[in-house]
Structure 1
């Protein structure tokens, strides 16, 4: 299993818009083949910083999603709202 964490920093005026995009897209992502779960977390100290925390059956499943039309559509709407470059980590659970 692969855990994917993505840090997203938004312009403050776009937080509500991003939350709407995520809410509208969450089911599409969750139902994508190989996705086990996806959560959205918000930094308490910096409310314009969000993290997506998702579990995937494998790196191949994650890559299939990242190369899909679903991802490209969601990412196209989201990336224009950033105030900083996104960061991403792919992790393997050890214990």
Structure 2
């Protein structure tokens, strides 16, 4: 299994629109083959910071997600909403 944290930092004036774009990714993504977990989280202290907490069966399944039309469309929409490009961390579970 592959664990992923994806961090997006919205421009302060775009928080609600950024959240809307990110939320729209949830339903189609959880239906994708190989998606075990896909949750959107928002920082309590800094509401412009969002994380996707993800678990995928494999790197290949994650790559398929990254090439999906809904993901690519969201990436295009987010370009003007975010302070900086999304940061993605590929992780291994310990213990």
Which residue of the partner structure matches residue 37 of structure 2? Answer: 37
Q: Deviations over 1:32-79 (max 9, x none)?
A: 111111111111221111111111011110011112222111211122
Equivalent position SS for 2:37:
strand
Aligned pairs for 1:1-95 (under 5 A) are 1-95=1-95
TM-score (norm 1): 0.89
Deviation at 1:87, TM superposition (A): 1.4
In 2, Cα distance between equivalents of 1:19 and 1:6: 14
**For structure 1, which runs of at least 5 residues remain unmatched after alignment?**
none
Coordinate RMSD, CA, aligned = 1.3
5+ long unaligned stretches in structure 2: none
Q: Which 4+ runs in 1 deviate beyond 3 A?
A: none
* In 1, Cα distance between equivalents of 2:25 and 2:67: 16
